[in-house]
Amino acid sequence: MVRFWIAFVLTLGLSPAMAQEKLPVVASFSILGDLVQQIGGDRVAVTTIVGPNADAHGYQPKPGDAKAVAAARILFANGLGFDNWMQRLQKSSGSKAPMIVVSTGIVPLKSQGKAHSGHDHGAIDPHAWHDAASLQRYAANIRDALVTADPAGRAYFDARLANYDTALKALDAEIKAAIAAIPADRRKIVTAHDAFGYFGRAYGIVFLAPQGVSTETQPSAQDIARIIRFIRETKAPAVFIETIADPRQMERIAQESGARIGGKLYSDALSPPNGPAGTTIEMIRTNIRELNKALAPQS
Ligand SMILES: [Zn+2]
């Protein structure tokens, strides 16, 4: 009996503080997990399904994922065909939580046709997170969803959104300055898969990839031959490896085309927190540093 009362008193004493309960939410992949954390701060407990350095295209959910989804009050997905498996997870977990598609309101980009493998032609490009203006939309959508689920946190979320917006505007200016330092005829890049279409559209740089906007299909021999031709014809100075992809294919393309390996880009995932791309903003900063190093004249 005594033990019961001690437990009871402890529970009374502790739970309101601990349970200033953080809102349990799920984000489909690492970049989105970071964005939700940036806006949600101390009021959310974020579970990310596809973690650092991992590829979320065509992810196969594991049993533990359904558990996290079942416990979540909000589910965040990128949309644009990137993480459709979240809908299957929602169903299989029996979750009644709303699914927030954070790319809502962004003008979607279609894959660039000829630059891609034929089967991919016209596919929607999901990689909107590489454009700072799109990220502002992502952040605003996340804020709206958090306020709906946790109205008492409104002022807190608003303040965090305002801070993050300021950081994104600064990032946007940084990207523009970095690209401006690259001579116009060198603003063309080959990457493993077509992850930088929005970045290219926003900042004026041409990206080409043997693989289309998803990593779910493998490039054909013709796709690779076309990329090698493109590099030779346009004298594209560098090809880039992606952190989520096997580097061997790009190494082969570099060897056959005479282009250099320019560096490593973060396309679809953050690094672990202590790495060079621990947050979305750090990821983009690291990418522009890599692009700049490979393409801008070094003094
Ligand atoms: Zn991708």
Per-residue pLDDT reduced to its tens digit, 180-190: 999 999 999 89
* Residue 31 CA, ligand 1 centroid: distance in Å: 12
* Residue 196 CA, ligand 1 centroid: distance in Å: 9
115 vs 207, higher pLDDT:
207
Q: What is the pTM of this model?
A: 0.90
Which of the four CATH numbers 3.30.470.20, 3.30.70.270, 3.40.50.1980, 3.40.50.150 does domain 183-295 have? 3.40.50.1980
Helix 132-149 vs helix 30-40: crossing angle, to nearest 10: 60
* Residue 245 CA, ligand 1 centroid: distance in Å: 10
* Residue 143 CA, ligand 1 centroid: distance in Å: 25
* Average pLDDT score over the chain: 90
Place 1 in a pLDDT band, splitting at 50, 70 and 90: very low
At 155, list the tokens.
């002022």
Place 38 in a pLDDT band, splitting at 50, 70 and 90: very high
How far is the C-alpha of 251 from the C-alpha of 151, rounded, in Å? 51
How far is the C-alpha of 38 from the C-alpha of 217, rounded, in Å? 33
* Residue 5 CA, ligand 1 centroid: distance in Å: 55
Closest CA to 190 of 92, 101, 265: 265
* Residue 57 CA, ligand 1 centroid: distance in Å: 6
CATH 3.40.50.300 is right for the domain spanning 2-111+126-167? no
How far is the C-alpha of 126 from the C-alpha of 106, rounded, in Å? 10
Strands of the 206-208 sheet, one edge to the other: 206-208, 188-190, 238-242, 260-265
How far is the C-alpha of 242 from the C-alpha of 15, rounded, in Å? 45
pLDDT, position 112: 61
CA separation, residue 134 to residues 8, 158, 202 (Å): 49, 18, 10
- Domain limits, CATH 3.40.50.1980, in the chain: 2-111+126-167, 183-295
Q: φ and ψ at 274, to 5 degrees?
A: -85, 0
pLDDT, position 111: 76
Helix 221-234 vs helix 248-257: crossing angle, to nearest 10: 50
230 vs 272, higher pLDDT:
272
* Residue 126 CA, ligand 1 centroid: distance in Å: 7
C-alpha of 66 from chain center? 21
* Residue 131 CA, ligand 1 centroid: distance in Å: 14
Closest CA to 62 of 27, 92, 32, 94: 92
